[in-house]
Chains A and B, each alone.
Chain A
């Protein structure tokens, strides 16, 4: 039998830790094309971001060491609390809407309906459209003076909100358009989850006399919990990073009423020349996302059931 690389591999499974560098050429060949760009365009900026966050810097004049000054400044600045609260409010409004809507759609389109494929494709279309387009189109639809939505609301005698010109409605306007865009994504993930639920479970439950409502709560929802977990984790991570639609629809206004964390990072850097604080804020955001994600992964045992 020939001496091959596989023999080396088999030996190493025996004592776990491979000691030889004889594969080095192949390792470099296969890994460098991804390792170099990840190093230069992710790891280096990551480390330098930490460095920048410890300085006062306007991107032009020399950096000035402030230690943790930027972090303590941010934590005492009421603007920080505002942008985090707006981001939280966005997530808190957006997540229940897309989950409930996506679940209803997934349940409906899991039935034997004519034109099911077409309907699924239709609901998914906004997902492939860019945030900027979605924000612009909805800004037009929600135009307070002559937008279609307010014309319709007016026609049936309902109040016409100022949407993106009214501080109270700017964030809801962003939530509404975001939910419209992402509904199809949630639907597809939940549909995939539904399709992996074995049909015999329902048959057995029917035999035992469970009604449709009980079957939904006792079978469908628990078996959907892995997909639900995925949707919640992804939506929270993306939700805390919301930027494009806010920037285009409201620009964080009116009067900062819809400014979110990433918008603040952008403004601090490119409008106010406070790159140090912007970097510190981005690390605070990252820390928050990390904590929330870890807590969810830890907590999943309590409610996520893998079939």
Chain B
């Protein structure tokens, strides 16, 4: 308890940055769930590919530690473009390959979950075996720096140095902390406005509300679903960049536990509800940090899951309820 009081500021800031990443990944789950009533189990792999895309673009363009402000902005912009493009692409392909054929056959939802699990294995193993796969195609020499030791963690060059900006309650808030928090909130606001105001956003809401009525009103359901996956993937790409800046390393299996956490955040806030995902992400990040300060870091994940169970018991539809789609029976 004393530890919590002494380090309250530090725990809060790190909790919020962590929560921001959870929240951005959670958006992908929430969007897809809102439209398709489906846990997109492979979304964590979409995120993982984003981290690698961001990492590779820096390697490809020869990014080095320590640069002027302009250089740092350039690198981060490149990372965003690469990660969002890669994650968006993977998400769209995923929908095409793993979900659309099932929809055409009216398969039960549990089967879609199995297909998603299969896709998740394929994606993460494809990354974990990239060394071997490159060997097959005969490109392992050319791609050496990207594919070697494909089962190990790879680190990002320190392109954005963590520098303390100001001090709150004994914790030096760094520029990376601020970037992650402000950046995530900004991305969220853009998305919220997109879903609220744009034509495509209206389509998404319509399909979430009532797929059949939407189809009768001339909404192209397949296209809306595709856009939903694309948007979710792009958000995961943004999350990937923030994650990489904050944590600095990634691995082929980085997605799994992070995905579970992000899904937890989505459920916590009320799955299908975009603002709920934000709230859930922050609550989860903070609760984990405070909780681990009280009962010990090794219980961090347990705190997250116990919190989830407790909230679902009292509010079975999450904190903010479902708003993207109709309430579930």
Q: Do A and B come from one complex?
A: no
Please give the residue numbers on chain B whose beta carbons come within 8 Å of chain A beta carbons, in ascending order.
none
